[in-house]
Chain A
Amino acid sequence: MMTNQEKQILLDVKHLKKYFQVGKKQTLKAVDDVSIQIYKGETLGLVGESGCGKSTFGRTILHLYEPTEGSVTFDGITVDHSLDRKQAHELSRRMQMIFQDPYASLNPRRKIMDIVGEGMDAHGLAKNRKDKEDQVVNLLETVGLQAEHADRFPHEFSGGQRQRVGIARALAVNPDFIVCDEPISALDVSIQAQVVNLLEELQEERGLTYLFIAHDLSMVKHISDRIGVMYLGCLMELADSEELFENPMHPYTKALLSAIPIPDPEIEKSRKRIMLEGSLPSPINLKNECKFASRCPNCKESCMQRQPELKEVSPGHFVACSCIE
């Protein structure tokens, strides 16, 4: 964890938008004006319901998708078309991703050696074949696999082992920043903790910065320094992990928190659940009102005007809600 003085911005995302054109006249606003800063060495948790645009946000940051609007600045370098090929290539080394689905994220026709070694080939990080093999074996051992696994195909591994291969692949190019796109939601609970621990160890050893995406607050609480809550493509609340759990302000965050069961029947019985009405509205052709208006328990007239901006209500605690001053 880190102290306030040494905060140094690694990734600066400004007004990032990613719209998908679906059908002729319909626009799907998967990410709608998100601004966020990620500090060197921290883990920023990003939570939200399925379909709220978390993956799209992560992928747009890595330029897998062309942003519709807005900018991404990584370590002082703005990622756009003005970069020359060499710079863009170097950036692709420094920013990596761990994927959601351990079954779809490894090429079924390549051996682990080639999968993990791919980034080394792309960036010329290995001097020769032997060097590459040594590095891959080292990485496999780092993530808790064994040297002889290098000759296997992905389908010979369990979900947790595959996720480790995915982590080794990302580490192979010595990145500074890793987007972890729900790396544990497809795994068994017992394996989840192992993978989270591995990620934390690696962060300590290598000074990595994570954007850790999850759809469940309880999953990110442990690993995150700060947590952002996303709803329908917008950031609703952003605060230090502790602060968010102790003092949630946005009605959506409150509802999410109240959905986490408490392992104490006394408290669990007496506690008031905040139930959200209705289901997640479709992100296609939304009106200009606050995105949460249709499900908000204290929705007012003024909420129907526009999506409120993210405001700092106390140091480091940002909320986008017009009911909160």
Chain B
Amino acid sequence: MRNEAIEDSLFVKVKVKAEEKEHIAAPASGMIADAWLRLRKNKAAVVALFILIAIILLAVFAPVFSKYSFSDTDYGSVFAQPNADHIFGADQFGRDMWVRIWMGTRISLMIAAVAAVLDLVVGVLYGAVSALLGGRVDAVMQRIIEVLVGIPHLIIVILFLMAFPAGVGTIIAALSITGWVNMARLVRAEILKLKSQEFVMASQVLGSSKFYIIMKDLIPNTVGVIVINVMFTIPNAIFTEAFLSFIGIGLAEPQASLGVLINGGYQVLQNYPHVLIFPAVVIVLIMVCFSVLGDGLRDAMDPQMRK
């Protein structure tokens, strides 16, 4: 048998020359500062962020500083066009649309906040525990999720709203039942994927503790998935509330939510389009901005996108 194929002499020492050792010019920086730097470069995300901040500020302060309240009727200005007094005009009872829209935005943002917290706390914990413990615990937890996913979301919400008095509390409770399921599944899948990666194995071989592996290997690498999913959950929750109120089983008059307002405007669309247009624009802005910001955040948090 000949075996001169690879001779020892072929393995000549290659001395790496100094100039071949490449230099990487960009300065190094910490994770959050780094993410912010990258987010700032993304124009669309920055614009979205500012619009959202403006909307939040308006929702908080506009009703406080207006001379009208959201339920004050004024039959002298029924369906008033936008003017100096009523910036966004008035509705069929002469109520000020400006105040009503920002009150409605408050409700939307409140629902968004609850949905986000639910996702981050229940969804992330549920998914992480399921993936980390594995075995029988994982199997049981997954069966529970399957049952929840099996029943259409809307049916649960509608049943809930029929059983309990309509109101913000009921809508939030209804969303809570299934709102976190998607996040739980995503986080579980991501952690399972990471657990078998070689760098996690490397940590195990090095003798790092489980806690260390969870904190340094698993969580930082799931942040991207978590952020992008929260940013999808939020507009979804806002839309669900608006939709329920629009079809008449969510919030009801005289309460103002964006869905209620759109419903009111829809009925008089032909004659007084401004009653529909303003709340519609606000809800579209909120949803689009959250999506754009979510995309930007995900990219910003990924060190591989670093330029």
Binding site for B on A (CB under 8 A): 59, 62, 64, 89, 92-93, 95-97, 99-101, 104-111, 114, 118-119, 121-123, 144-146, 148-149, 151-153, 155-156, 166, 169, 173, 190, 193-194, 196-197, 218-219, 221-222, 245-246, 248, 254, 257-258, 260-264, 267, 271
CA distance in complex: A262, B204 (Å): 42
CA distance A52 to B115 in the complex (A): 49
Q: Is the CB of B16 within 8 A of A194?
A: yes
Q: Which of B12, B16, B207 contacts A144 (CB 8 A)?
A: B16
Q: Are B209 and A109 in contact (CB under 8 A)?
A: no
Contacts of A108 in B (CB 8 A): 221, 303-304
Cross-chain contact A118 with B208 (CB below 8 angstroms): yes
Give the chain B neighbours of A257 by CB distance below 8 A.
Answer: 1, 3
The winner among A101, A114, A156 for most chain B CB atoms within 10 A is A156
A290 to B205, CA, bound (A): 34
Beta-carbon contact of A262 and B11 below 8 Å: no
A246 and B3 in contact, given A107-B217, A169-B202, A193-B11 (Cβ under 8 angstroms): yes
A-B pairs, top 10 by smallest CB distance, nearest first, are A92-B207, A151-B28, A105-B198, A119-B206, A109-B220, A260-B5, A218-B6, A245-B3, A99-B198, A107-B199
Q: Given the complex, which residues of B lie within 8 Å of A260, measured CB to CB?
A: 3, 5-6
- The CA of A64 and the CA of B203, in the complex, are separated in Å by 11
Residues of chain A within 8 A of B28, CB atoms compared:
111, 151-152
> Closest chain A residue to B23 by CB distance?
A148
Question: In residues 210-268 of chain B, which contact A (Cβ within 8 Å)?
Answer: 212, 216-217, 220-221
B14 touches A193 (CB 8 A): yes
- Which residues of chain A are near B209, meaning CB under 8 Å? 122
**By the criterion CB–CB under 8 Å, are A62 and B205 in contact?**
yes
Chain A CB within 8 A of B306 CB: yes
The answer to whether the Cβ of B19 comes within 8 Å of any Cβ in the partner chain is no
Q: Which residue of A lies closest to B13 (CB)?
A: A197
- Interface positions, chain B 15-31, Cβ under 8 Å from A, are 16, 21, 23-24, 28, 31
Cross-chain contact B205 with A92 (CB below 8 angstroms): yes
Nearest opposing residue in chain A for B205, CB measure: A97
| A193 and B23 alpha carbons, distance in the complex (Å) | 23
- Do B21 and A146 touch (CB < 8 A)? yes
User: Which of B8, B16, B21, B205 has a CB less than 8 Å from the CB of A222?
Assistant: B8
Least distance between B305 CB and chain A CB atoms (Å):
10
Bound: A221/B7 CA distance, A: 9
Choose among B2, B6, B207 the residue that contacts A122 (Cβ–Cβ < 8 A): B207
Given the contacts A99-B202, A110-B216, A197-B14, A245 and B6 also touching, CB distance less than 8 Å: no
Select one of B5, B199, B206, B221 contacting A263, CB under 8 A: B5
Q: A218 CA to B203 CA in the complex, in Å?
A: 31
Q: In the assembled complex, which residues on chain A have CB atoms less than 8 Å from the CB atom of B2? A: 262, 267, 271
Q: Which of B23, B201, B203, B304 contacts A59 (CB 8 A)?
A: B201
* Nearest CB in chain A to that of B14: its residue: A194
Does B197 interact with chain A (Cβ within 8 Å)?
A: yes
Q: Which residue of B lies closest to A166 (CB)?
A: B202
Q: What are 26 A-B pairs with beta-carbon distances under 8 A?
A: A62-B205, A64-B204, A93-B207, A96-B205, A99-B201, A99-B202, A105-B199, A107-B199, A118-B203, A118-B206, A119-B208, A121-B208, A146-B21, A148-B24, A153-B304, A169-B202, A190-B14, A193-B12, A196-B11, A218-B6, A221-B3, A222-B11, A260-B5, A262-B3, A262-B4, A267-B2
Contact of A119 among B6, B201, B207, B303 (CB under 8 A): B207
- A300, chain B: closest CB distance, angstroms: 23
- Option from A100, A110, A248 in Cβ contact (under 8 Å) with B1: A248
Most chain B CB inside 10 Å of its own CB: which residue of A107, A114, A155: A107
